[in-house]
Amino acid sequence: MAVTHPDIVIRPMAAADLEQVIAIEQESFSLPWTADHFIDELNSPHSFPLAATGGDGSVVGFICPFLILDEGHILDVVVGSAHRGRGIGRLLTATALAMLRERGAVRVSLEVRVSNGAAITLYRRLGFVEAGRRKRYYENGEDALLMDITFG
């Protein structure tokens, strides 16, 4: 599942990226992750957060996948508002899926707001299927759609 983008580089997220990552997180969510949450992800032996950077090296998006035994999970996928609609979310997700598979994942899961049609469409195109629903999962009472993909 090779997905490329002419002016975007996907690389491991670093502590030096946190200011930009947190700014993107805060513009995207009413209850954003804190710096401590991202630091935990950077320091976890199970997580490997990735940053998408533009031609000038600035962070334009990120994804936080983790793997425990043979099960992967995607916690957070965000693209800065000025960069949405350019395929960066697809590139981040496809890269994380490829890395999870290479590391031995046989299944990967995620949650997504039922109102986030663009993300749901993206995940379906990448092979995710609906696996359930978490009622009132988000802070505003919105349901989460559970989706997963199994590698054959």
pLDDT tens per residue across span 2-21: 456 778 999 999 999 999 99
**Cβ atoms within 10 A of the Cβ of 15, count?**
12
Distance in angstroms (rounded) separating the CA atoms of residues 124 and 49 = 22
> Considering the domain boundaries, does residue 43 fall inside one?
yes
Is 138 assigned a catalytic role? no
> Considering the domain boundaries, does residue 1 fall inside one?
no
pLDDT score of 101:
97
pLDDT score of 4:
60
Q: Does pLDDT of 82 surpass 60?
A: yes
> Considering the domain boundaries, does residue 84 fall inside one?
yes
> Considering the domain boundaries, does residue 99 fall inside one?
yes
Q: Does pLDDT of 1 surpass 50?
A: no
Q: Does pLDDT of 94 surpass 90?
A: yes
Q: Does pLDDT of 100 surpass 60?
A: yes
pLDDT tens by residue, 124-140: 999 999 999 999 998 88
Q: Longest C-alpha distance within the chain, in Å?
A: 41
Cβ-proximal residues to 51 (8 Å cutoff; 6+ apart), any chain: 10, 11, 12, 13, 14, 17, 21, 59, 61, 62
Could you tell me the two tokens for 143?
A: 């349901």
> Considering the domain boundaries, does residue 20 fall inside one?
yes
What share of the chain in percent tops pLDDT 90? 88
Is 71 assigned a catalytic role? no
> Considering the domain boundaries, does residue 3 fall inside one?
no
What share of the chain in percent tops pLDDT 70? 97
Catalytic one among 19, 123, 137, 142?
Answer: 123
The structural domain count of the chain equals 1
Least confident of 23-32, 88-97, 104-113: 23-32
Q: Does pLDDT of 26 surpass 90?
A: yes
Q: pTM for this structure?
A: 0.93
The domain of 84 spans 9-150
> Considering the domain boundaries, does residue 60 fall inside one?
yes
Catalytic one among 27, 111, 137, 138?
Answer: 111
> Considering the domain boundaries, does residue 2 fall inside one?
no
Q: What CATH number is given to the structural domain containing 17?
A: 3.40.630.30
